[in-house]
Chain A
Amino acid sequence: DAGVTQSPTHLIKTRGQQVTLRCSPKSGHDTVSWYQQALGQGPQFIFQYYEEEERQRGNFPDRFSGHQFPNYSSELNVNALLLGDSALYLCASSLARGQGADYEQYFGPGTRLTVT
Chain B
Amino acid sequence: AQKITQTQPGMFVQEKEAVTLDCTYDTSDPSYGLFWYKQPSSGEMIFLIYQGSYDQQNATEGRYSLNFQKARKSANLVISASQLGDSAMYFCAMRERNTDKLIFGTGTRLQVFP
Contacts and interface: CB of A to CB of B under 8 A. Distances in A.
Contact of B35 (A40, A56, A105): A105
A61 interface: no
B106 A48 contact: no
B50 A45 contact: no
Interface string A88-116: 10101010010000110111111010000
A56 to B, nearest CB: 5
Interface in A30-82: 31, 33, 35, 40-45, 48, 55-56, 58
A56 B101 contact: yes
Q: Is the interface of A mostly helix, strand, loop or mixed?
A: strand
A43 B45 contact: yes
A110 B39 CA distance: 11
A82 B100 CA distance: 27
B100 A106 contact: no
A43 B104 contact: yes
B104 A109 contact: no
Contacts of A102: 33, 50, 52, 95
Contacts of A94: 100
A107 B44 contact: yes
B100 A55 contact: yes
A103 B100 CA distance: 11
B104 to A, nearest CB: 3
Interface in B36-79: 37, 42-47, 50, 52
A33 B105 contact: no
Interface of B: 4, 33, 35, 37, 42-47, 50, 52, 91, 93, 95, 98-107
14 contacts: A33-B100, A33-B101, A42-B93, A42-B104, A42-B106, A42-B107, A43-B45, A43-B102, A56-B101, A90-B43, A97-B100, A103-B50, A105-B95, A105-B102
Given A35-B102, A42-B105, 5 more contacts: A42-B4, A44-B104, A55-B100, A94-B100, A107-B47
